[in-house]
């Protein structure tokens, strides 16, 4: 729900208060902003180190840190933050975020291993099942990818919006 709400809120705020004609920030301003972000993330890490690892607050904090690190291109840090968030309890969406980050970082074997661990905990989760096929495809195992995606499509509701994308991925397999 937050994945939809936050961008929608940001768009609404921008449409009400944004300035599309505003000139871009100077290098010094961007550098200062980056330093402020670094300090904020360091403070968040410090507070999270003191939090009870299995608490809902820690889970939310680690998830926010993972999202921030991912948006900054720090994929290893993002994967670790998602791992820490999952200590508070399994969450299929969060598990799929971790798998995606591992794939983006080129850690295909780690993603395959993670998905093998996560899928039994949420065997019907579309994202995890799709990523499992994607990881197999990236690992050079097109037959396994095709099998995973065929099973996913077989159980898909009629007209599933993601079905077309899965079929295209299957067609692109060797």
Calpha distance 120→132 (Å, rounded): 12
Spatial CB neighbours of 113, under 8 Å, sequence gap ≥ 6: none
What pLDDT does residue 100 have?
A: 97
Calpha distance 103→72 (Å, rounded): 16
What pLDDT does residue 23 have?
A: 65
What pLDDT does residue 45 have?
A: 84
The alpha carbon of residue 88 and the mean position of all alpha carbons in its chain are separated, in whole angstroms, by: 17
* More confident: 22 or 153: 153
pLDDT (average), residues 52-66: 92
What pLDDT does residue 36 have?
A: 79
Give the tens place of pLDDT for each residue, 77-106.
999 999 999 999 999 999 999 999 999 999
Half-sphere exposure of 37 (CA within 13 A, CB side): 11
pLDDT at 21 over 70: no
């Amino acid at each position: 729900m937050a994945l939809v709400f936050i961008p929608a809120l940001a768009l609404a705020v921008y449409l009400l208060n944004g300035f599309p004609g505003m000139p871009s920030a100077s290098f010094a301003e961007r550098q200062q902003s980056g330093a402020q972000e670094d300090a904020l993330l360091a403070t968040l890490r410090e507070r999270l180190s003191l939090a009870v690892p299995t608490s809902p607050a820690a889970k939310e904090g680690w998830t926010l840190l993972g999202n921030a690190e991912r948006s900054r291109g720090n994929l290893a840090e993002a994967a670790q933050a998602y791992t820490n968030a999952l200590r508070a309890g399994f969450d299929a969406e969060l598990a799929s975020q971790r798998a995606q980050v591992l794939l983006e970082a080129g850690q295909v074997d780690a993603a395959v291993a993670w998905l093998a661990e996560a899928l039994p905990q949420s065997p019907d989760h579309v994202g995890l099942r799709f990523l499992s096929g994607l990881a197999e495809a990236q690992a050079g195992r097109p037959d396994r990818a095709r099998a995973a995606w065929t099973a996913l499509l077989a159980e898909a509701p009629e007209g599933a919006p993601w079905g077309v994308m899965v079929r295209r991925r299957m067609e692109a397999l060797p």
